[in-house]
Amino acid sequence: MNPATPALVEVDRVRKLFPKGSGDDLLVLDDVSLTLRTGEIVSLLGRSGSGKSSLLRIIAGLMPASQGRVTIGADAVEGPAPGVAMVFQTFALFPWLTVLENVELGLEAQRVEPGERHKRALAAIDLIGLDGYESAYPKELSGGMRQRVGLARALVVHPKVLLMDEPFSALDVLTAETLRTDLLDLWHEGRMPISSILLVTHNIEEAVLMSDRILVFSSNPGRVAAEIKVELPQPRNRLDPTFRRLVDDIYALMTARPTGKAMPGLFPGTGIAMLLPRV
């Protein structure tokens, strides 16, 4: 990705504290800065509890930061951000609505008129491979199909930025892989009505498979501890030795044991914002 490409999302020194019942607040995100540019898929890779979902909620404007700011395009995020859509780990569909109604819902909030709503929802359902299931209810669908509905509901609003919070982690291995591949195909064919994707994951292979850049998140508090560019051509092959080496390197980085004096908040055994060699 050309660094001259204009920033689409800018997260600038964001801190987040949650009040704890007793005494001090819980510092979840500390001094998090990142940039998302048009045309790229960036992964946020971190352990459970490192504050990834909190950061996504702040970017989407669903929760305020305690300090720092987020801008999307030229606008500071101060409430639910237009141009941003989110896909959740647990699908979050309305069980009493059909597939079509679930997908249309995203457009109702935007006051799109019913004819146009219908047309765009059908197009999103078709794009995501659920043609023929428009009138099915969520309970009639497999997990993989439900997540496709979640994806169609996010895409139907034609957001600039798609935020995905562990979208494959509730699916079995094979279903998850099919959905990843389908998503990457749509992206690389230029058929997704979006400009960039921020993907939250704790799965190293998934991050290497899908992203142009990986931001490795440290825990307690969450910080961007390393940035890794993945320059392997797409489609990527998990068995490629370069792919394997990168996965191993990131694993080592994330599980490094203290080797002496650790920097507080960073991965023990790594330097500040350690950069892995480019591949």
Ligand X SMILES: Nc1ncnc2c1ncn2[C@@H]1O[C@H](COP(=O)(O)OP(=O)(O)OP(=O)(O)O)[C@@H](O)[C@H]1O
Q: How far is the CB of 46 from ligand X (least distance, A)?
A: 6
Q: How far is the CB of 51 from ligand X (least distance, A)?
A: 4
Contact 266, 225 (CB under 8 A): yes
Q: Does 53 bind ligand X (CB under 6 A)?
A: yes
Q: Does 219 bind Mg ion (CB under 5 A)?
A: no
Contact 44, 198 (CB under 8 A): yes
Task: Name the closest residue to Mg ion (Cβ).
Answer: 53
Distance from C-alpha of 158 to C-alpha of 152, rounded to nearest angstrom: 10
Among 11, 42, 45, 46, binds ligand X (CB under 6 A): 46
Residues 156-215 that bind ligand X (CB under 6 A): 202
Residue listed under structure tokens 């370069």: 242
Q: How far is the CB of 270 from ligand X (least distance, A)?
A: 19
Q: Does 94 bind ligand X (CB under 6 A)?
A: no
For the beta carbon of residue 75, count every other beta carbon within 10 angstroms. Answer: 11
Contact 93, 38 (CB under 8 A): no
Of 18 and 96, CB closest to ligand X: 18
Q: Does 15 bind ligand X (CB under 6 A)?
A: no
Q: Does 50 bind ligand X (CB under 6 A)?
A: yes
159 binds, among ligand X, Mg ion, none (CB under 5 to 8 A by kind): none
Q: How far is the CB of 21 from ligand X (least distance, A)?
A: 10
Strand (E) or helix (H) holding 31: strand 26-37
Residues making up the chain, counted from first to last: 279
Among 5, 49, 96, 255, binds ligand X (CB under 6 A): 49
Q: How far is the CB of 45 from ligand X (least distance, A)?
A: 10
Of 53 and 270, CB closest to Mg ion: 53
Residues 31-60 that bind Mg ion (CB under 5 A): 53
Show the DSSP H helices in the chain as ranges.
52-59, 99-108, 114-127, 143-155, 173-188, 204-210, 241-255
196 binds, among Mg ion, ligand X, none (CB under 5 to 8 A by kind): none
28 binds, among ligand X, Mg ion, none (CB under 5 to 8 A by kind): ligand X
Contacting range for ligand X; rule: CB under 6 A; set: 48-56, 172-180, 204-212, 226-234:
48-56
Please list the helix, strand and coil fractions of the chain in percent, rounded to the nearest 5, in that order: 30, 25, 45
Distance from C-alpha of 275 to C-alpha of 42, rounded to nearest angstrom: 16
Classify residue 140 by its DSSP letter.
G
